[in-house]
C-alpha cells in the first residue's frame, strides 16, 4: 500500500461535497474507535446500511469493546449476528478479536500487513480501518468505489478481472488525500451509495460531473462492465447405438442421479471399452457393420455435451438376455412413446437419414 503526495481533483471535489451532502449521522461515525469501524466494515460486507444499523446498535451495546467480543461465547456472537446472514463473517470477527488479545495487546493493529493477516480482513477492509480509525491515507475498493472510479476514469473491463482490479487499486491509491483520509473515504462511499448509483446515477447533483468520463460521453450505463458469462466446459461422450436386423435399438434407463435421471437413453460412456463390453453382453456381433454417426451437440447449464453415436448395426440379440424395465430393445417408433431426453429423441427420429452404408 502507498499513497499520493498531492491532492487529486476528485478528492478535492468530494471533500467539499461531503461537508454539505455526505452522511454524518451513521452510528459508526460516532465515538469512532478502530473496533467500531472494523465491526461496521464487516457488517456492511454484502449488507445494506439500513439493514446493518439495528444489528450494529444491538451488537455494540452488548459488546461495546473488542475485549468484550473476545470474551463472549461464540453462541452469543452468533445470536447477535443472527439475521444478518453470511455467518462466516461473525465467526471470523470473533476469532480476530481473540487473536488481537493474544497477539496485539488487545487492540486492532495499526500496521497494514498485520491487519491483513487477521481472519476476514482483506485489502479494502484494512484500508477502511486504517483510513477511518486512524485517518491514515490508505484506499478502499468496495463495490461503490469501483463504480465511481470506473465511470470517472472510463475503465473498461469487468472489475473482477485481476488486471482491471489492479488498475482500480492504483487509481484508488492516487486519490486518497494525505490528510482527511477518513472524511474522503466516507465521501466516496456516500457518493457511490447516494449519487453515483448503479441505476440512474444522479449526475446533475454530482460534484465530479465536470471531469467524469462516463458522464461526458453519456455512457454511464456502460461502466462498470458486467461479469462476462461463464465459459462452459465441453464434455465428450460416446453413445452406443446397438441395432438388430429388424431395426430395433437397445436403450437403457438412466440412473436416478445426474442428468436425465430416470429417462430412457442410448448407453453412454466416456470411452468405447465399456460400451463394447455391453454390446458383446447383449448381442452376437458376427457380420455386423460399424459406423460413427454425426456428433450430437447439446448444452446443459454447466457444460456443453458433444456425443458421438457409435452405430453397431445388424447384430443378433441374445435370446438368453432378458428384457427388463431398465434395458430393452425398441424400434424407433416404439421408442417415441418412452420418456426420452430431447436430443436422443431427435437423434432416433433422424437415424435412418444418418445411415450411409455403401451399396453392397
Q: Which is nearer to ligand SF4, 207 or 267 (CB)?
A: 207
Task: Compute φ and ψ for 231, nearest 5 degrees.
Answer: -75, 125
Report strand pairing: 234-244 vs 268-269: antiparallel
β pairing state of 234-244 and 304-317: parallel
Closest CA to 97 of 127, 74, 142, 67: 67
Active site residues: 41
Q: Which is nearer to ligand SF4, 195 or 288 (CB)?
A: 195
Query: Rule CB under 6 A: is residue 144 a binding residue for ligand SF4?
Result: no
> Is 3 an interacting residue with respect to ligand SF4 (CB under 6 A)?
no
Nearer Cβ to ligand SF4, position 212 or 344?
212
Report the residue number, 199 or 356, with the smaller CB distance to ligand SF4.
199
- Regarding 288 and contact with ligand SF4 (CB under 6 A), the answer is no
For residue 266, what is its C-alpha cell? 442410448
Stretch that binds ligand SF4, among 32-40, 80-88, 208-216, 318-326 (CB under 6 A): 208-216
* Three-class DSSP category at 203: helix
Stretch that binds ligand SF4, among 32-40, 164-172, 211-219, 290-298 (CB under 6 A): 211-219
Give the shortest CB-2-to-ligand SF4 separation in angstroms. Answer: 24
The footprint of ligand SF4 on residues 173-202 (CB under 6 A) is 195-196, 201
Q: Which member of 110, 209, 276, 298 binds ligand SF4 (CB under 6 A)?
A: 209
Q: What is 51-106 written as a DSSP string? A: HHHHHHHHHHHHS-SHHHHHHS-HHHHHHHHTTS--HHHHHHHHHHHHHHHHHSTT
Sole binder of ligand SF4 in the list 118, 148, 251, 288 (CB under 6 A): 148
Short-list 154, 170, 153, 151, CA closest to 162: 170
- Give the span between the Cα atoms of 76 and 78, in whole angstroms: 5
Angle between helices 9-21 and 181-194 (to 10 degrees): 70
> What is the distance between the alpha carbons of residues 222 and 213, in angstroms, rounded to a whole number?
11
Nearest distance, CB of residue 17 and ligand SF4, angstroms: 10
* Residue number, 115 or 214, with CB nearest to ligand SF4: 214
How big is the site for ligand SF4, counted in residues (CB under 6 A)?
14
Binding residue for ligand SF4 (CB under 6 A) from 152, 184, 310, 329? 152
**238-to-207, 225, 266 alpha-carbon distances in Å:** 62, 39, 10
* Near ligand SF4 in 212-231, by CB under 6 A: 212, 214-215, 220
In the numeric block, which cell numbers belong to residue 176?
A: 486518497
Residues between 290 and 349 with contacts to ligand SF4, criterion CB under 6 A: none
Q: Which is nearer to ligand SF4, 177 or 267 (CB)?
A: 177
Residue whose C-alpha is closest to residue 168's, from 193, 195, 188: 188
In angstroms, give the least distance from the CB of 53 to ligand SF4. 25
User: By the criterion CB under 6 A, which residues form the site for ligand SF4?
Assistant: 148, 151-152, 195-196, 201, 203, 206, 208-209, 212, 214-215, 220
Amino acid at each position: 500500500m502507498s499513497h499520493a503526495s498531492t491532492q487529486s481533483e476528485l478528492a478535492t471535489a468530494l471533500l467539499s461535497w461531503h461537508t454539505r451532502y455526505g452522511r454524518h449521522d451513521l452510528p459508526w461515525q460516532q465515538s469512532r474507535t478502530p473496533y467500531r469501524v472494523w465491526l461496521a466494515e464487516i457488517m456492511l460486507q454484502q449488507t445494506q446500511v439500513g439493514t446493518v444499523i439495528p444489528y450494529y446498535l444491538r451488537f455494540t451495546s452488548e459488546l461495546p469493546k473488542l475485549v468484550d467480543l473476545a470474551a463472549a461465547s461464540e453462541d452469543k456472537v452468533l445470536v447477535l449476528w443472527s439475521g444478518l446472514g453470511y455467518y462466516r463473517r461473525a465467526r471470523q470477527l470473533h476469532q480476530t478479536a481473540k487473536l488481537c488479545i493474544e497477539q496485539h495487546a488487545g487492540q486492532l493493529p495499526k500496521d497494514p500487513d498485520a491487519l491483513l493477516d487477521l481472519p476476514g480482513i482483506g485489502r479494502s477492509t484494512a484500508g477502511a480501518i486504517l483510513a477511518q480509525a486512524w485517518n491514515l491515507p490508505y484506499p478502499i475498493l468496495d463495490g461503490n468505489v469501483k463504480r465511481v472510479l470506473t465511470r470517472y476514469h472510463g475503465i473498461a473491463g469487468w472489475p473482477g478481472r485481476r488486471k482491471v482490479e489492479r488498475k482500480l487499486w492504483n487509481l484508488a491509491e492516487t486519490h486518497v488525500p494525505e490528510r482527511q483520509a477518513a472524511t474522503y473515504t466516507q465521501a466516496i462511499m456516500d457518493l457511490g451509495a447516494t449519487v453515483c448509483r448503479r441505476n440512474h446515477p444522479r449526475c446533475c447533483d454530482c460534484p465530479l460531473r465536470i471531469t467524469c468520463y462516463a458522464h461526458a460521453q453519456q455512457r454511464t450505463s456502460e461502466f462498470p462492465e458486467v461479469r462476462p458469462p461463464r465459459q462452459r466446459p465441453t464434455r465428450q461422450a460416446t453413445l452406443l447405438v446397438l441395432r438388430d436386423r429388424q431395426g430395433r435399438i437397445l436403450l437403457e434407463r438412466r440412473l436416478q442421479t445426474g442428468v436425465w435421471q430416470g429417462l430412457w437413453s442410448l448407453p453412454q460412456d466416456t470411452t468405447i471399452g465399456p460400451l463394447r463390453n455391453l454390446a458383446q453382453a447383449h448381442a452376437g456381433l458376427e457380420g455386423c457393420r460399424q459406423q460413427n454417426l454425426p456428433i450430437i451437440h447439446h448444452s446443459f447449464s454447466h457444460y456443453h455435451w458433444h456425443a458421438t453415436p457409435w452405430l453397431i448395426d445388424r447384430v443378433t440379440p441374445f435370446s438368453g438376455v432378458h428384457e427388463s424395465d431398465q434395458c430393452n430393445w425398441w424400434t424407433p417408433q416404439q421408442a417415441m412413446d418412452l420418456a426420452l431426453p430431447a436430443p436422443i429423441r431427435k437423434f432416433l427420429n433422424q437415424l435412418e437419414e444418418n445411415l450411409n452404408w455403401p451399396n453392397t
